[in-house]
Each structure stands twice: as C-alpha cells, then as structure tokens.
Structure 1
Amino acid sequence: MKRILVPTDFSEHAANALKAAALIAQKTKCELYLLHLLEIPNHTSGTTTGGSSIREDILLIKKANEKLEKIKEQPYLAGITVNTSVQYERAFSGILAFNKKNKIDLIVMGSHGTSGIEELLIGSNTEKVVRLSEIPVLVIKKEIGELKFKKMVFASDFSPETKKPFAKMRDFAAIFDANLFLVFICTPNSFKTTLDAEKIMSKFIKNYDIQNYSLHIFNDTNIENGIVNFSKAIDADLIGLCTHGRTGLAHFFTGSISEDLVNHATKPVITFKI
C-alpha cells in the first residue's frame, strides 16, 4: 500500500475518515491524497449564463485550497506526506477517475451510517463508490480514537471468486496484527448444514498461509442481520466483505449487502471488489 485517497466535503464525517487514514498511513508509511470535488459549473465562457462566473469559480477553488492547507496543519497529520487536489467533477465519478490517474491503493470515506444520505459525500455517493470501485474502500462511521483494528470480520460464501478479495483482506489484517474471524452466514433462504459450511470454509482457508484466524457459522434471518449481529457478538472492530459491483437491473433486483452495511452498520466497513 503506497497511496490512500480521502475525499472530503469538509464535514465531520470526512474529518473522521481522514483521521483513520492518517493512522493507517503512519503504520504503512504511505502518502495521503486529500480530494475535494466541486459541482460542475453551468457556464462555458467568461460570462454569467445562469450559473456562476469564472471569477466566482476561481474564488471557490481558492477557498477550497485554503481549507485543505489548513487541514494539512492538523497535528495528527504530522510526518505524513499529504497531497491535495480540488477538481470540478461529480462526486463518485470524480473519485473513481482520480483513483485510476493517481494509482490509489485504498479509499477511506466518511459515512453517517444511519439515515443514508447526508452532505456531499455521504449516503448515495458513498454507496456508488463502494459498488463501483476497483480498489478497496474503507468506510468510517464515527471518530476512531487509536484505530484498534484487532478483531476483523470477513463475511463470505467462500466461493472461488472470493479468493483474491480475501487475500487483500488478509494483507490488510496483517498491517494491524489483527485476528481474522471468518464467518459463514446461514439464513432460511441460503441454508447450509453445519457440516457443509465447515467443509466449504476449511477447503477455502487451506489456500492461504495465514495466522490468527478462526472459522465461524452464524444463523440469522438474513445475511445483513447476520453480519451485523455476529460482529456485535464478538465486539469486532471492522467488517470486511466482497462486492460484485452489480449495476443496472441486476443490481436493482438483487440489491447489495455491502451498500446496506455501509448505511446501517455502526462498525467501520471495508469492501473488496470481486
């Protein structure tokens, strides 16, 4: 891990994400990229045409850069290389484009975590980034003191397609010397016997050289509730899972467990694209 992106709208939630990213950067010696996205202007020339003038746009950019420079002075960023950028682009598409251009390894975003929509980078935009990002996305719900990621949950069906995402989860856990709790959620709609679930998980984990892990089977009414309730039961510090990145009708009909958890779970959530 060399580069971490933190999108910011200067809200409290974005500040919490930056604090978490700074703690990760201190452990990994990587750089932080702080990105602020402005709404795309309505004008195409130097005159006012129902939107802001170019002069006003320049002022907005100047103020945003001043705020970013002030943020860089925060004590918790001491010793960390922080790159800043202000761009005119829509929130989620701007974040994804920035990732590719700057070869970002991890996105850390803030989220309200309950209602689902608040301010520029909260709610729907966070969900879109989680669904569409090719790189891991860590969503922070509230301020984290020392970022003690000692208990990490990885919820999965442990199918072959989840092998690469799990390898990334394993590497992330290694940064914090964390214990990994691999959990198979059984529900009325996706029921498996204990023996079958144990066989699937045991076969899956044999592919990895890994320490500090345990295998668990948890029954609940649906997968989302199972992940949340299991995480509460073991007092987990972080929830990790895969996302298919479904779009269009497939996403509409199947929904997205990762997006639901981003909105409803109180724990930080990290997602890995399959």
Structure 2
Amino acid sequence: MQNILVPTNFSPQSHHAFELALQLAHRTGGHITLLHVIDAPKTSGMVTTGGVASGSSLEGVFMVQLLQRTKRRMHELMAEMAGKWPEVAVQDHIATGTVDEAVLEVVRERHIDLIVIGTEEHSPTTHLFAPDSHAERLVRLSPCPVLTVKHPAPEFVMHSIVFASDFSPEADRAVSSLRQLTAAFPEATLYLLDVVTSASEAPAALERIHAFAQRHQLTAYQHEVFSAPQVRTGIPSYAARTHADLVVMLTHAHTGLGHLLHHNLAESVAVRAAAPVLTVHT
C-alpha cells in the first residue's frame, strides 16, 4: 500500500480521503497521485501541458482555462497538506473522460496498489434510492484494494481492524492485506468477524474463524460472531458499536462472502459503514 491514488472532486469527503491517504503513506513510506477528472470528451482540444491542441475550437480554449483553474486548486490543496506531512511525495494528475474509466486507466498505467476515495455515508433507506456511486463502482471494478472514507481523520489512529468474512477458503485471499495493515499499525487489534442471521449458526461460524486463524498462524486476534437480521446491516452496526477504526472485506462479482448471493455486499458496506472500509478484490 505504497503507491496510492486519491481521486478528488474538491468535496469535503475527498478532502478527508486525501488527509487519511497522506497518513497511510507516512506509515508505509508510500507516495500519492492526486487525481482530478474533468468530464470532457478527449476531442475537446485540451492537453495536459495547459496548451491548446492545433485546430481546436473555442471550446478547446475554454477547456484549457478550466484545466489551469483546476491545477491551481490542486496545488492549493497540496500546499495545505504539505504543511502537515511534508515528507510524503504527492504528484498531481488531471485526466478527461468519465471518472470511473479515468481512475481505472491511471491504476493500470501507474501500477497503483491502493485507491483512497471519499464518499458520503448512505443510510439503509436512502441507499435504496441512491444512484450507484463512483465509490461503489470502483469497489466492484478496481483490480487493487479500495479504501472508502466518509469522515474527517486529521489524526488517524488504528486501534481496531475488523475483518468481516464468512471465513470460507476464499477469505485466505485477504491475508496479505491484513498482514500489511498489522505491520503498518502494530498497535491495532485484529478482530475476525462473522455476522450471522440466526443464533444456531454461531458455533459453526466460530469454528471457521479459529480454523482461518490457525491456517495463517494468527495468534494476536479477537474472534467475534455478531447476530443481525441482515449481514449488510450487521457489519456497519457492529463497526459502529465497537468504534472500529477500519473494516476490511473481500469483494468480487457477487459478494466476497457466502451470506448474500444477489448483490455485492462489500459495495453496500463500503458506503454504509461510518468507519473507513478497505475492500480487497479477489
């Protein structure tokens, strides 16, 4: 988690994401690419050097002016944060096109290993009617881990890392990320959480948790089996009750957990949980 991408639209949430990403980079010795995407066709006449492509129209001139204004805003943001974490290298980048496509292109070109993105916290009711957010789509589509951030974290501390899973063999794919996190935050306690919808499922869930820990020689962990009517609401509820500092989940074409087969559970938790959520793609 050293080559970090932070997409920004200059919203408060993206500011929170940049702030947290800087602190992660400080911990890991990493560096950051700060990305802003301008929703414009690639034929608009804009070039990244700030000039106008030959044969461009007045629309192209307008786009160059927009690019210059955007660069000023990004440099102001970088200067603000440089006063707090001057040792973290930050490079700005402006792209055109759709946000999701531009972000994924930068991930591929720059070999990004973590996206940190700001998003609004959705309630269980409003999320039913909310459009699919950029954060949710990146959780689903990104080949690298995605960390969603909703709230300010000017002094981010990590006392508790919650890995929410059903601890099937697929859960093994998150171990590398868990080891990176516990190495970067050795003061944090690792909680292995399985949310069940029936009390009768608890013994089997506990057995899976201990088997997972034994497979990977995890000794410093806490086991947690939490009962809730739905897994998608149970994970954010548990995180809120325990004041979790970070939730970690697997994601793939469906859920990354065996509890829910029709929707991507990680996407839902990523925008519902108040705590930052790190999703690791299988």
What range is the shorter-chain TM-score in? 0.7 to 0.9
Letter in 2 for 1:103: H
RMSD between superposed Cα atoms in Å: 2.2
Pick the aligned partner of 1:187 from 186, 197, 207.
197
Q: 1:22 touches 1:76 (CA, 8 Å); kept in 2?
A: no
TM-score of the two chains, using structure 1 as the length reference: 0.87
Q: State the match for 1:60 in structure 2.
A: 66
> 3-state SS of the aligned residue for 1:221?
coil
Q: State the match for 1:41 in structure 2.
A: 41
Summarize the alignment of residues 177-216 of structure 1 with structure 2, pairs less than 5 Å apart.
177=186, 178-188=188-198, 193-216=201-224
1:98 and 1:246 mapped to 2: Cα distance? 25
Residue 246 of structure 1: how far off its partner (Å): 4.1
1:229 and 1:170 mapped to 2: Cα distance? 25
Q: 1:92 touches 1:125 (CA, 8 Å); kept in 2?
A: yes
Pick the aligned partner of 1:109 from 117, 130, 134.
117
Change (3 A) 1:61 1:38: same
2:42 and 2:203 mapped to 1: Cα distance? 61
TM-score of the two chains, using structure 2 as the length reference: 0.85
Summarize the alignment of residues 170-249 of structure 1 with structure 2, pairs less than 5 Å apart.
170-177=179-186, 178-188=188-198, 193-246=201-254
Letter in 2 for 1:152: I
- Greater CA deviation, 193-202 or 133-142? 193-202
1:151 aligns with 2:144: no
Change (3 A) 1:234 1:44: closer
Residue 199 of structure 1: how far off its partner (Å): 1.9
1:34 and 1:44 mapped to 2: Cα distance? 22
Q: 1:245 touches 1:273 (CA, 8 Å); kept in 2?
A: no
Residue 98 of structure 1: how far off its partner (Å): 0.6
Q: State the match for 1:250 in structure 2.
A: none
Matched residue count: 260
Q: 1:20 touches 1:147 (CA, 8 Å); kept in 2?
A: yes
> 3-state SS of the aligned residue for 1:16?
helix
Letter in 2 for 1:132: L
Unpaired segments ≥5 residues, structure 2: 46-54, 256-260
Q: State the match for 2:15 in structure 1.
A: 15
Q: State the match for 1:71 in structure 2.
A: 77
Deviations 1:165-199 (A, max 9, x none): 233123223211211110111114xx753332222
2:279 and 2:191 mapped to 1: Cα distance? 15
Q: 2:227 touches 2:234 (CA, 8 Å); kept in 1?
A: yes
Deviations 1:97-137 (A, max 9, x none): 111110111110001112679xxxx9611110011111111
1:92 and 1:172 mapped to 2: Cα distance? 26
> 3-state SS of the aligned residue for 1:131?
helix
Change (3 A) 1:142 1:123: farther
> 3-state SS of the aligned residue for 2:152?
coil
Letter in 2 for 1:260: S
- Greater CA deviation, 166-175 or 63-72? 166-175
Q: 2:226 touches 2:238 (CA, 8 Å); kept in 1?
A: yes
Q: 2:240 touches 2:273 (CA, 8 Å); kept in 1?
A: no
> 3-state SS of the aligned residue for 2:84?
helix
Change (3 A) 1:111 1:174: same
Letter in 1 for 2:173: K
1:140 and 1:98 mapped to 2: Cα distance? 20
> 3-state SS of the aligned residue for 1:5?
strand
Letter in 2 for 1:237: D
- Greater CA deviation, 194-203 or 81-90? 194-203
> 3-state SS of the aligned residue for 1:193?
helix
> 3-state SS of the aligned residue for 2:100?
helix
1:96 aligns with 2:93: no
Residue 232 of structure 1: how far off its partner (Å): 2.3
1:126 aligns with 2:132: no
Matched-pair identity in %: 27
Unpaired segments ≥5 residues, structure 1: 248-252
Q: 2:160 touches 2:191 (CA, 8 Å); kept in 1?
A: yes
1:42 and 1:96 mapped to 2: Cα distance? 16
